[in-house]
Structure 1
Amino acid sequence: MIDAISFNEGTLRYLDQRYLPLREEHISTKDHREAIEAIKTLAVRGAPLIGVAAAYTVILGINSYRGDKEGFPCFFGNLIADVEASRPTAVNLFFATKKLKAVYDRNFNSDSLEVLFAKMLFEARQIHDDEIANCDAMAQHGVRQIREDLAEILKTRKLNVLTHCNTGTLATGGSGTALGVIKLAWQEGLIEKVITAESRPLLQGLRLTAWELEQEKIPFFSISDSSSAFLMQRGMIDFGIVGADRIAANGDTANKIGTCAHALSAWHHNIPFYIAAPVSTIDITLSDGTQIPIEERSADELRTIFGTQVATSTTPVINYAFDVTPGKFLRGIITDKKAVVGDYLNGLGQLFAE
């Protein structure tokens, strides 16, 4: 297993994903401000892993507290606000901070700070353990659905699958969401090749997914984001599966920019296109995708490529990090609880409301 993130003896250790695949650099820190910066700068990325990192970042913050109990509520409130401001689209981050706030609310009045901090650390570790278990469950549900939906093709040959961005261990800490499904499908002999889209502008598909597939010795090739429609037209893609940063109650899904184009093309070519994400990614407070906050990142991420300027500094840029794929273009959503396919558009929120 790739060591994407760990927390031991008050130290957060993570693999800095900005330098992959050319350099593997693990960073260790006890400073919550450094951890927040790692989330902001995509040194740590991927919705589930952001949630895990956010939980451990809160622990780093409370470990640094040197005041008395009376002053802790103000400190804790500011700490949570700083962590939540780091990445606004990934709902897993808010899922993690919500769970830690619940521990605080239940125990602050009755416990000493030492006992409270121990309970919060236990919760943070549980969030991490749950993500690992969620990946395993998603993989099982996803492979079962693929076998069902693509049974006719599987009678004669293995499948070629398209994926986008990075959704493996580097994004989750476990086997992955979409990539976890792909890994298990390959292990069970269902996959011929993985097609990974480069995922502009930071190339997570080309850099990170390709690196993970090489580690796992899974056959693949990479393409430009704009190539997928042509490959579908030529019969080179049998299905697509990607992750998600937030899913609205009607199935509309925010994911790495470029996802909607893949999904729309798959729908046009009658190719199944799936989302794989833990239930924690479903935000039932949002009725549809128009309510999902979409992060807009620095123009220099597009004007430069790893420090090399490829456009003038005055070139106007719109650099959205995510797009929203309407649920009607999806074959289904695979979660750690079940695979939801077909006519779920009016029932996804109610299905997972509990």
Structure 2
Amino acid sequence: MIDAVSFENDTLGYLDQRFLPLKEEYIKTKSHLEAIEAIKTLAVRGAPLIGIVAGYTVILGLNSYQGTKDEFPLYFEKLIQDVEASRPTAVNLFFATACMKAVYDTSFTSDSLEELFAKMLVAARKIHTDEIANCDAMARHGVELIRHDLAETLKTRKLNVLTHCNTGTLATGGSGTALGVIKQAWQEGLIEKVITAESRPLLQGLRLTAWELETENIPFLSISDSSSAFLMQKGMIDFGIVGADRIAANGDTANKIGTFAHAVSAAAHNIPYYIAAPVSTIDITIEDGSHIPIEERSADELRTIFGTQVATPSTPVLNYAFDVTPNQYIRGIVTDKKAVVGNYAEDLKKLIT
């Protein structure tokens, strides 16, 4: 399996995803500031992986602390704020920092700093191992849903599936969310080919998902983002499945920009469109998608491609990193606990309570 992230000997290791697939560079750091920068610059990305790295980033910050116990609360508060400010949309990041704050709240008064830091490291490692287990569970639930919904088609042939951005090992540390479901479906003989949309402007589908699929010898075809509707019209796509960076209480889902367009096209062609994400991605405090904070990134990400200028520096740009797919366009949401279909407002609340 691809080694996307590690934490050994007080050192965070990660595969720098900015340069894949042309260059495989594994970075090692003991600096929490460097780890925060890695999240900001998308050297590490994907909501579950961001959560994992966020937990380890807190540990790096703790390891660099040299003050007294009395001074620690202010330091810890600032550390958490800095980690949380690195990316605003992926709720898994905030899930990770909440886990670390929970350890602090229950142990700071009674424990020494050494004991407190040891407990936080256990919590950070648990976030990592839980995400790997979550991927395996999502794969099982997702395949079960696909078998049910596409049973008639599967009687005569295998399926072609559309996915967007990257939701595999590079995004999760495990087999993946949506891509983990796809990999499991392939292993069980359900998939003919994966259609991976390029995912402009940073091309995570073209660079990362294609690389993962090629590495694991799964047949795929890369397309431009705007091609999916035409392929659906031609009968070349049987269903779509994507990941999520945040799921609102009603099932509205924020994911990489372009996801909503695929969903609308799928609905127009009566094609099932699924979301796969761990329960930690559900934000029950947000009523619907209109309240999900959407990150706006640098204009240069659109004006340049791998350092090559493709538009004038003065070209006005609006570069949203995510869009929101309303729940009516989502056939089912696959989580690590179960796959839910239909009444998301009720079912999602049950999953986290």
On whether the aligned pair clears a TM of 0.5, the verdict is yes
The match for 1:160 is 160
> Per-residue deviation at 1:253?
0.2
Instruction: Report how far residue 347 of structure 1 moved.
Output: 1.5
The residue number in structure 2 matching 1:189 is 189
1:275 is paired with a residue of what secondary structure? strand
Equivalent residue for 1:280?
280
Letter in 2 for 1:180: G
Amino acid at match of 2:86: S
Offset from partner CA, 1:96-129 (integer Å, 9 cap, x none): 0000000000000000000000000000000000
Alpha-carbon separation, structure 1, partners of 2:190 and 2:182: 9
After TM superposition, list the pairs within 5 Å mapping 1:54-133 onto structure 2: 54-133=54-133
SS in 2 for 1:195: strand
Indicate the residue corresponding to 1:316 in structure 2: 316
Question: Hey, what's the Cα distance between the residues in 2 that align with 1:236 and 1:349?
Answer: 32
Counting only pairs closer than 5 Å after superposition, residues 152-301 of structure 1 correspond to structure 2 as 152-301=152-301
User: Any conservation in 1 of the 2:163–2:242 contact (CA below 8 Å)?
Assistant: yes
Output the CA distance in 1 between the equivalents of 2:185 and 2:105. Answer: 42
State how far apart, in whole Å, the 2-side matches of 1:38 and 1:150 are. Answer: 40
- Counterpart Cα distance in 2 of 1:86 and 1:24: 24
Kindly state the Cα deviation for residue 346 of structure 1 after the two structures are TM-superposed. Answer: 3.2
Task: Look up the equivalent residue of 1:195 and give its one-letter code.
Answer: I
Residue identity (%): 79
SS at match of 1:352: helix
CA contact (8 A) 1:328 1:345 kept: no
Query: Match of 2:237, SS?
Result: coil
Q: Distance in 1 between matches of 2:59 and 2:344?
A: 38
Deviation at 1:135, TM superposition (A): 0.1
Distance 2:348 2:184 in 1: 28
Matches of 2:340 and 2:262, distance apart in 1? 20
SS in 1 for 2:34: helix
Question: Separation in 2 of the partners of 1:258 and 1:60?
Answer: 35
Report the AA paired with residue 86 of structure 1: S
User: CA offset at residue 288 of structure 1?
Assistant: 0.3
- Cα separation, 2, equivalents of 1:166 and 1:219: 16
> Contact 1:247–1:281 (CA<8 Å) still a contact in 2?
yes
Matched positions, count: 353
Verify: 1:5 aligned to 2:5, yes or no. Answer: yes
Which runs of 5 or more structure 1 residues have no equivalent in the other structure? Answer: none
CA distance in 1, matches of 2:168, 2:175: 6
Q: Distance in 2 between matches of 1:107 and 1:307?
A: 47
Q: Normalising by structure 2, what TM-score?
A: 0.99
d(CA) in 1 for partners of 2:53 and 2:265? 34
The two structures, once aligned, show a CA RMSD in angstroms of 0.6
Give the drift of 1:167.
Answer: 0.1
Give the distance between the partners of 2:68 and 2:345, measured in 1 at CA: 49
Contact kept, 8 Å, 1:256 with 1:321, in 2: the verdict is yes
User: Could you say which residue in structure 1 is the equivalent of 2:346?
Assistant: 347
| Rounded Cα–Cα distance in structure 2 between residues aligned with 1:175 and 1:275 | 16
Aligned to 1:305: 305
Q: Report the CA distance between 1:237 and its aligned residue.
A: 0.1
Distance between the aligned counterparts of 1:188 and 1:328, measured in 2? 29
CA distance in 2, matches of 1:190, 1:340: 21
Contact 1:168–1:176 (Cα < 8 Å) also in 2 = yes
Whether contact under 8 Å (1:249, 1:348) holds in the other structure is no
CA distances 1:46-90 after superposition (whole Å, capped 9, x unpaired): 000000000000000000000110000000000000000000000
Q: 2:56 and 2:344 mapped to 1: Cα distance?
A: 35
Q: CA deviation at 1:351?
A: 2.0
Deviation at 1:277? 0.1
Distance in 1 separating the partners of 2:176 and 2:198: 18
Instruction: Give the whole-Å Cα distance in 1 for the aligned partners of 2:288 and 2:80.
Output: 27
Post-superposition offset of 1:353: 3.8
CA distance in 1, matches of 2:204, 2:348: 30
Q: 1:63, 1:350 → 2: CA distance? A: 37
1:350 and 1:77 map into 2 onto residues whose CA distance is 29
Q: In 2 relative to 1, CA 353–129 (structure 1 residues): closer, same or farther, beyond 3 Å?
A: closer
Read off the aligned partner of 1:127 and give its amino acid letter.
Answer: I
